[in-house]
Each structure stands twice: as structure tokens, then as C-alpha cells.
Amino acid sequence: MTVRHVVEVAQFDRAELERLFARADHMRELPPDAAPLRGRILATLFYEPSTRTRLSFEAAMLRLGGQVISTENAREFSSAIKGETVEDTVRIVEGYADAIVIRHHEQGAAHRAAAVASVPVINGGDGPGEHPTQALLDLYTIRHELGRIDGLRVALVGDLRFGRTARSLARLFCLTEGTELVFVSPQAVPMGADVRAALDAHDVAYRDEQDLAIVLPHVDVVYQTRIQRERFATAEEFEASRGVYVLDAASFGRLNPQAIVLHPLPRVDEIAAEVDPDPRAAYFRQARNGVFVRMALLDLLLADGERPNG
């Protein structure tokens, strides 16, 4: 693999994406006694809460025969509380582990960590910046569910301003052909100009649409996201954006019969539980795919013969 660290989706090209996805397919069938990362250690440094990203990375490493050291509330229970910088923490942890997954509340923290690290650093989400491994598993899920990643009409719904998963996924579509994106967001949280500029540079078509009901019959993928209370400056701003776009039984009645609905999770109230049994509701299968994609990523970064040379 030519990338050494994984901090943003722009590091990937189409060939690397295809290679990663093929590897993830292989990981689905990996025999339980296979242990390509035996003797390797992964450190997970999480300064923000997580269920899926931390546990699926740790499960991935364990399934590959490796071991894990972890701090799940690094903001409070690591020496960050004493004032230690991310850079110093990484310089210490690289002496204990062969790779580091970091989630941090500050945008750019993963870049800062990677800049000083001698072992691979993987961005598990940096504030409202990026969440590249989520985008990789999202696109892998689309490929697994629909059989292709080109020529798709995709609605990105919800908090597109602070939502790092939607931001990373939109950028990842720069590696696809014939994609049409529709941004459906409350007015306070539109897709950022930086992402739009990246899409323009790669000739990816996109438009904004306020009415989700108009969009639902015409798209192949609906990517719903949570309005993130923790990213708003005031409760009033948050309340103005919440509950605007909710997927429920009526929405699924309008949805293209061949479409899938994804969500990076956690959800709060933006997808009603009543639609969970619908086969088009793919979000729990999507979360499961996170293990296979993260296994593939760790294997490509760490396995013998695949050592990064960057």
C-alpha cells in the first residue's frame, strides 16, 4: 500500500480503493485460525466517544491475530488531562504499538499525529474534519449491496457541515465515475465549500435540494446522518436543525424499491425504528462491514511484505 498513514480520503486513488475492497472481500472469508498480524499491537487513542470505530478496529486487530492497547476516554483518562500534547502522546505510544488509531475533537489532530509518528496513524475522526475509514466502509457497503460504485445517484442527508462522515464520503466519490450527489440538509448545516471545490475539480455532479420527498424515488443510495448536538454553539441553533429530515415508513413508501439506506450511526431520531426490518435498511450491515474493511486496512498497512515504505 502506498499510503503510510490514513488521515484523509484524498490519499487514496482508484487502484488502492479496489485493492482495499478486494482485501475486505477476502477478510469476510478469513479462516478463524489465520493470524497474519500475530505479534503486532494496535493502539486506539480515543479523545471522543465511540462505539463502532473503536470496537470494530479492535475486533479487526484481534481477528487478524494481533493485540490491542486502548484508551477510550483519552481526553480525561490519558495524560492529556495533565496538558500533554497529541504529538508527545503519539511519540510515546509509537514505542508501544505498531499502529495507532486516533479520534480527536480537534480538526487536524490526526494530521498532527501523523506528522510526528514513525508508525502508521489512522484517523478515526477528527472533530468536524474527516472520518476516512468510515467513508471507505460506506463505499464498500454500496459496492457490496448494489454491485457497483459508478453511475450512482446518492442523497447525502442531514448535517453536511459538521458531519465528517458525509464530508469524507462525498470526497471519496471523486474516485468514481458518473456519480450524481444530492445534498439535503437543514439550512444551517450545508455541505462545505471545501468539499464542493473538490467535487468540482473531479467533475462530480452535485446539487442542493430542500425537499427529501422529491429525492427519494430517484436515488440509489440515501445516506442519512445525525444532527450532532455536540457541534453546535447554542441549543437554539441545534433545535433549529433537528427533526427536519426523518426517514420513516412513509418515506420508505416513496423510496426507490432498489435503493439502500445507509447511516454511519449512531442514530437518534432521524430514522424511525419501524423501517429497520425493510431490506433496504442497510445500516446494520454497513456497521458490520466496518470490521472487514478495517481488517483489510490493518493487514495492508502492517502485514509482512506489505510494510509501508513512505
Residue ranges that bind ligand CP, judged by CB under 6 A: 50-53, 125, 131, 134, 264-266
In what side-by-side order are the strands of the sheet with 260-262? 205-208, 180-184, 153-157, 221-224, 260-262
Given 63, 103, 242, 263, the catalytic residue: 103
Q: What is the nearest approach in angstroms of ligand CP to the Cβ of residue 213?
A: 26
Given 112, 131, 164, 226, the catalytic residue: 131
- The backbone torsions φ and ψ at residue 82, rounded to the nearest 5 degrees and listed phi first, read -90, 0
233 touches 260 (CB < 8 A): no
- Closest CB to ligand CP among residues 52, 294: 52
Given 23, 40, 44, 53, the catalytic residue: 53
186 touches 244 (CB < 8 A): yes
Closest CA to 50 of 100, 142, 123, 124: 124
Q: What is the nearest approach in angstroms of ligand CP to the Cβ of residue 134?
A: 5
Q: What is the nearest approach in angstroms of ligand CP to the Cβ of residue 294?
A: 11
Q: What is the nearest approach in angstroms of ligand CP to the Cβ of residue 264?
A: 4
52 a catalytic residue: yes
| DSSP state letters, 246-257 | -B-HHHHHHS-T
- Cβ-Cβ contacts under 8 Å for 301 (sequence gap 6 or more): 1, 4, 6, 99, 120, 122, 308
- Closest CB to ligand CP among residues 80, 265: 265
- Closest CB to ligand CP among residues 40, 103: 103
Grid coordinates representing 97 are: 504499538
Given 4, 40, 52, 263, the catalytic residue: 52
202 a catalytic residue: no
144 a catalytic residue: no
Catalytic positions: 52-53, 82, 103, 131
